[in-house]
Amino acid sequence: MVKICCIGAGYVGGPTMAVIALKCPSVEVAVVDISAPRINAWNSDQLPIYEPGLDEVVKQCRGKNLFFSVDVEKHVSEADIVFVSVNTPTKTQGLGAGKAADLTYWESAARMIADVSKSDKIVVEKSTVPVKTAEAIEKILTHNSKGINFQILSNPEFLAEGTAINDLYNPDRVLIGGRETPEGQKAIKALKDVYAHWVPEERIICTNLWSAELSKLAANAFLAQRISSVNAMSALCEATGADVTQVSHAVGKDTRIGPKFLNASVGFGGSCFQKDILNLVYICECNGLPEVAHYWKQVIKVNDYQKTRFVNRVVSSMFNTVSGKKVAILGFAFKKDTGDTRETPAIDVCKGLLGDKAKLSIYDPQVTEEQIQKDLSMKKFDWDHPTHLQPTSPTAIKSLQVVWDAYEATKDAHAICIMTEWDEFKSLDYQRIYDNMQKPAFLFDGRNIVDVEKLRGIGFIVYSIGKPLDQWLKDMPAVA
Ligand code: UDX
Ligand code: ADP
C-alpha cells in the first residue's frame, strides 16, 4: 500500500488529499499540521474550511484511508510520498520585503523531513513557491540525508476555491515536474500513477522542475492579468458611457480570447494572485529583467487602483463624506462559495471607508465576526502565517458591526456596497431593503450582480462597475 503524507492541512492540502483518498482506495493518506485546532476541526463535523462538496468526500474516507493528525514526524517518516503544502507568505522584512516569498515554513518542513526519514522518499512541492525553490529544498534534503535518497517533484495545484472538488475531479491538467535523471523519471511515474486513478493520461503533463514551478506562477499571472485588463476597461466604460458587460461579451466571443475571467469587479482577491505576481516580479528583477518585472507589476497596480476607485466613488457620490453614515457591506469573502477572506478586496474597501469615518454593518454568509475584525486590524501580508490560525483577541474596531442577515445589515443604512457575488444577494427583496434605508438610498455593486434598471425603478441611486452612470453620479464625479 502506497503511503502519502501531506504537510499542511489548509485550503490546498485538505481538499486535494481528500480527493486523492477518495479516488485511490489503495493509497493511505495522512494530512498533518502543526496547528492542533485545524486538525481537530478536520476530525470534527465542522471542517475548518467551507468548500461545496468537501464534507461528503471527507465523510466517505476519514478513518478508512484518510487521516488528519498533528503527529507530523510519525506520518512523514512512514510515507513514500510527502506533499508539502505549507504557507509561503510574502516577506515583510529584509531582502525582498513586499515581494519575495518567505520560505521559512518550507525550509523548516524540509529540515524536518530530512531529520525523521529512515527510507527513500519522493518530496512533492504543492504550495506555489518561487522558481528554483525545489533546487534549494533538494540541497537541504541531500545535505542532511544520512544516505537516504530524496527525489523532488513540483506538482502545482490549480484548483480554485469554491469549485475545488469539481476542479480536483476534472482538472484541465495535472502538472508534474521532476529531474531529467532516471531516478527523477521514476519518481514522476510514481506520482503519475496516483493521479492516473482518475485523471486521463493525456491531461497529465510532465516537465522539468523549473517549467512546472514557473507554469504555476505564469498561469496565475495570466488569469489575474485578464481581470486587470477588463477592470481597466471598466474605468474607460464609465467615463464614456459604454457597458463593460457588453464589451466583455463581445470580446470573449473571439475564440482566441474566450469568455472566462472577463467579469469586471471591485478587484481580484485570494491567497494566490497578488502573491504569485509579486513573486514573479521579484524573480524578474533578480534576473536583470526590469521591463518584464514592470509589465507584471501593472496588473497589481490596476487592481489596487480599482479598489481605490470604488471607495472614491462611494464617498464622492455621498456628498464627499461618509462620516457617521451607516454603510452596509454585503459579502466579505474574496469570492462566492468560500469563507476565505485572504486578500479580499472587501478589506481595502472597508479600510478606506473606515478611514473616512463610516459606520460599517457587514454581512457575509460564511465569514465570522472574529475573522472580519482580525482582517481589518491586520497589516498587509501578515495574514499568511500559521499563528493567525490560532485564536487571538484583536482590538475590536468599534465603528463596525457584523450581523447574520442582509436585511439587518441594510436597515437604516445610507448605502449598500456589494463586495462578494453570493447568489443570495441576487434575489434579495430590494423594495423592502429600500423602504428601510435612509434617503437618498445608494447601492454600489462591486460585482455587477444586481438588476440596475429594476433597482433604479425602486428609487436607488445605483453604481455598477463599468456600467453607464446615472445622472446623480455624473454630477458628483469621483476624485482620482
Ligand atoms: C486562483 C486560480 O484560479 C487557481 O487556478 C489557482 O490554483 C489559485 O488561484 P482562486 O484564487 O481560488 O484561484 O479563485 P479565482 O476563481 O481564480 O478568483 C480569484 C479572484 O478573481 C476572486 O477575487 C474573483 O472574484 C476574481 N475574479 C475572477 C474577477 O474579479 N473576475 C473574473 O472574471 C474572475
Ligand atoms: P494553502 O491555501 O496554500 O493551503 P493554508 O494557509 O490554508 O495555505 O495552509 C497551510 C497550512 O500549513 C497551515 O494550516 C499551517 O498550520 C501549516 N503549516 C505551516 N508550516 C508547517 C509545518 N512546518 N509543519 C506542519 N504544518 C505546517
Q: What is the pLDDT of residues 382-423, one digit of tens each?
A: 877 775 554 455 567 889 999 999 999 999 999 999 999 999
Residues 151 and 187 sit within 8 Å (Cβ to Cβ): yes
Ligand number nearest CA of 17 is 2
Distance between CA 124 and CA 152 in Å, rounded? Answer: 6
Mutate to test the pocket of ligand 2, among 31, 72, 87, 343 (most ligand atoms within 8 A of CB): 87
pLDDT at residue number 241? 95
Residues 74 and 425 sit within 8 Å (Cβ to Cβ): no
Any atom of ligand 2 within 6 Å of the Cβ of 338: no
For residue 84, pLDDT over 80 is answered with yes
Q: Residue 306 contacts by C-beta under 8 Å, 6 or more apart in sequence?
A: 228, 231, 234, 235, 265, 266, 267, 345
DSSP label at residue 206 = E
According to the annotation, is 88 in a ligand binding site?
yes
Q: Is 253 helix (H, G, I), strand (E, B) or coil?
A: coil
Q: Is 465 helix (H, G, I), strand (E, B) or coil?
A: coil
Residues 16 and 371 sit within 8 Å (Cβ to Cβ): no
The three state secondary structure string of 308-371 is HHHHHHHHHHCCCCCCCCEEEEECCCCCCCCCCCCCCHHHHHHHHHHHCCCEEEEECCCCCHHH
Mutate to test the pocket of ligand 2, among 12, 33, 70, 273 (most ligand atoms within 8 A of CB): 33
According to the annotation, is 337 in a ligand binding site?
no
Distance between CA 162 and CA 53 in Å, rounded? Answer: 9
**Could you give the residue ranges of the DSSP H alpha helices within 208-255?**
209-240, 244-252
Tell me the one-letter amino acid at 83: F
Lowest mean pLDDT among 116-125, 142-151, 330-339: 142-151
pLDDT at residue number 394? 56
* Atom from ligand 2 closest to the CA of residue 11: 4
Find the 112 Cα to ligand 2 centroid distance in Å: 14
Is residue 111 classed exposed, middle or buried when 0-12, 13-18 and 19+ CB atoms within 10 A define those classes? middle
Q: Is 272 a catalytic residue?
A: yes
pLDDT at residue number 388? 52
Q: Residue 401 contacts by C-beta under 8 Å, 6 or more apart in sequence?
A: 359, 360, 361, 362
Overall average pLDDT of the 204-227 stretch: 96
pLDDT at residue number 380? 79
Q: What percent of the chain is predicted at pLDDT more than 90?
A: 86
Distance between CA 405 and CA 416 in Å, rounded? Answer: 13
Is residue 341 classed exposed, middle or buried when 0-12, 13-18 and 19+ CB atoms within 10 A define those classes? buried
Dihedral of CA 305/306/309/314: which sign?
negative
Distance between CA 298 and CA 91 in Å, rounded? Answer: 20
Q: Is 34 helix (H, G, I), strand (E, B) or coil?
A: coil
192-206 pLDDT, tens digit per residue, is 999 999 999 999 999
According to the annotation, is 228 in a ligand binding site?
no
Ligand number nearest CA of 345 is 1
Residues 270 and 340 sit within 8 Å (Cβ to Cβ): yes
- Which protein residue has the closest C-alpha to ligand 1 atom 34? 261
Any atom of ligand 1 within 6 Å of the Cβ of 68: no
For residue 480, pLDDT over 70 is answered with no
Overall average pLDDT of the 288-311 stretch: 98
Mean predicted lDDT score pLDDT of the chain: 95
pLDDT at residue number 391? 47
Sheet-wide strand order for 400-402: 400-402, 359-363, 326-330, 415-418, 442-445, 461-464
Find the 86 Cα to ligand 2 centroid distance in Å: 4
pLDDT at residue number 476? 83
Any atom of ligand 2 within 6 Å of the Cβ of 38: yes
Is residue 240 classed exposed, middle or buried when 0-12, 13-18 and 19+ CB atoms within 10 A define those classes? exposed
* Atom from ligand 1 closest to the CA of residue 263: 33
Q: What percent of the chain is predicted at pLDDT more than 70?
A: 98
Residue tagged active-site, from 272, 284, 350, 417? 272
According to the annotation, is 261 in a ligand binding site?
no
According to the annotation, is 173 in a ligand binding site?
no
For residue 6, pLDDT over 70 is answered with yes
The grid cell for 253 is 466571443
pLDDT at residue number 392? 52
Overall average pLDDT of the 246-261 stretch: 98
For residue 29, pLDDT over 80 is answered with yes
Overall average pLDDT of the 99-124 stretch: 93
Overall average pLDDT of the 26-30 stretch: 98
415-474 pLDDT, tens digit per residue, is 999 999 999 999 999 999 999 999 999 999 999 999 999 999 999 999 999 999 988 888
344-363 pLDDT, tens digit per residue, is 999 999 999 999 999 999 99
Tell me the one-letter amino acid at 381: F
Ligand number nearest CA of 332 is 1
For residue 332, pLDDT over 70 is answered with yes
Nearest residue to 101 (alpha-carbon basis) of 326, 280, 269:
280
Q: What is the DSSP string of 122-164?
A: EEEE-S---TTHHHHHHHHHHHT-TT--EEEEE------TTSH
Residues 134 and 152 sit within 8 Å (Cβ to Cβ): yes
Residues 381 and 98 sit within 8 Å (Cβ to Cβ): yes
Any atom of ligand 2 within 6 Å of the Cβ of 86: yes
For residue 100, pLDDT over 90 is answered with no
pLDDT at residue number 378? 86
Delineate the domains of the chain, giving CATH numbers in brackets.
2-199 (3.40.50.720), 242-475 (3.40.50.720)
Residues 2 and 80 sit within 8 Å (Cβ to Cβ): yes
For residue 5, pLDDT over 60 is answered with yes
